[in-house]
Amino acid sequence: GWKDAINTTIINFNNEKMQITWAAREVFHNENVSFSYTFDEGKLKVWKPCPTYLLDHNYNTGCLFKTEGPTLAISIRNSNGSEELFSKKLKSDFYIKPNPPENVTFFWKEDTVTVSCNKPERAVKCLNLELQYKSTFDKEWQSRTSRCCHVGDQGFDSRKCYSFRVRLKRLAPHCNVVDYSSDWEAETFWMNGTLLDSCDDDRTSQPNTVIVLSSLLAVLLMMLVLLILLCKQQRVQMSVMPAIPDPKYIFADLLNDHNGNFQEWLDKTDHVVLQTKLEYEEPECITEAESQQEDEKNSDKQGPLEKIFASSGTTENSDPKAAQIACLIPASNTIASFAGFHILMNDDMYVTL
């Protein structure tokens, strides 16, 4: 009974090639066995040796040979073939693994996608077409299955990039003992009905856009903050340290018109300074002494200078109240008039009335 209990894996690749494997090292204790098979029925069977062995550490663990019919008989013997270790009879059609779908096409209509492929030459009724897809925001595949050979789904977002893959599945247990499916067809990438090389561009473009926008916003905020700080700094600087005027603008004519000749510039601008000072001359002081002097001038015809100096001497030796009538003469180089005389005054001169 242990011969029937040996675990074997049987795959019929699209009804073209058979692959049978066994656990040689566990079951046969590292014994290098031989394999033979036949597709003949009845008593007259012609056993064929395995044309291609599958090896594991130089031990035979499987055999690969051509599919020649629906009924298969296999036999595993010891290395010299004298003893049969395992035998089995099976239907090869119940172990078919289909090939991947061929000529897969995608048809997009708004948010609906329909996928189709060419019909296989054999057993189309035993096959389903499976579609799997996921967007860049999905972690798991979404799966849809339909009878061969078209399948579709709806609800696709035109702003997302999707990965698609399809395969053919053999129906079990109606057509297969084992639920075999084909390998996945090459994965394709689509966005809004347009075939792309990959969805990596979509994954990187979105973060890059966010990074660029964030950087621009940060730069604008920094510029605004710097502008505010600069304005505040200028206000503080103007209040604490007022700007000193540049003398080159005040003496521009000295440098440009007179080539730095100070005396020449002074002679040319003397009348301008005098006129400016006269415009800002302070009002003349009027005291009681001047009123008395005017009265004396009308009554007495003495020389003006004598009265001035007599009045001056009297004031110096008189009561201290007389000192309060003293007045400073206006700015330098101004003309002061006393009793009909005109005297040119400068900064070092003053008069007491």
Which of the listed residues 77, 97, 117 is the one where a domain comes to its end?
97
Q: Among 178, 153, 154, 183, which residue's Cα sits nearest to residue 166? A: 183
The owner of tokens 């599919």 is 67
H or E element that contains 223:
helix 200-240
User: Measured in Å, how far apart are the chain's first and last C-alpha atoms?
Assistant: 153
Helix (H, G, I), strand (E, B) or coil at 194: strand
- Does the pTM surpass 0.75? The reply is no
Contact status, residue 54 vs residue 61, Cβ threshold 8 Å: yes
- Do 32 and 74 lie in one domain? The reply is yes
Which pLDDT value is given to residue 301?
46
Query: Could you tell me which of 97, 100, 99 has the C-alpha nearest to residue 185?
Result: 100
Residues 52, 61 contacting (CB under 8 angstroms): no
Structure confidence by residue, pLDDT tens digits, 104-139: 999 999 889 999 999 888 889 999 999 999 998 888
- Asked if the model's pLDDT at residue 32 lies above 80, the reply is yes
Report which secondary-structure segment, H or E, holds 277: helix 262-279
What domain range is 18 assigned to? Answer: 8-97
User: pLDDT band for position 325 (50/70/90)?
Assistant: very low
Contact 167, 181 (CB under 8 A): yes
- At 45, the pLDDT band (50, 70, 90 cuts) reads confident
Which region among 23-32, 74-83, 86-95, 140-149 has the lowest average model confidence (pLDDT)? 23-32
- Decide if 272 contacts 312 (C-beta within 8 A): no
Residues 116, 14: Cα–Cα separation, whole Å:
19
Residue 55 belongs to some domain of the structure: yes
pLDDT tens, 240-268? 666 666 665 566 666 677 676 767 777 77
Tell me how crowded residue 182 is: count the other CB atoms within 10 A of its CB.
Answer: 21
- Domain end call among 51, 73, 97: 97
- Mean pLDDT over residues 59-71, rounded? 92
Would you say 176 and 96 are in contact if contact means Cβ atoms under 8 Å apart?
Answer: yes
Domain match, 34 and 71 both: yes
Length of the chain: 353
Which CATH number covers residue 136? 2.60.40.10
| Number of domains making up the chain | 2
- CA 252 – CA 350 distance, rounded (Å): 34
Residue 162: inside a domain, yes or no? yes
Instruction: Determine, yes or no, domain membership for 304.
Output: no
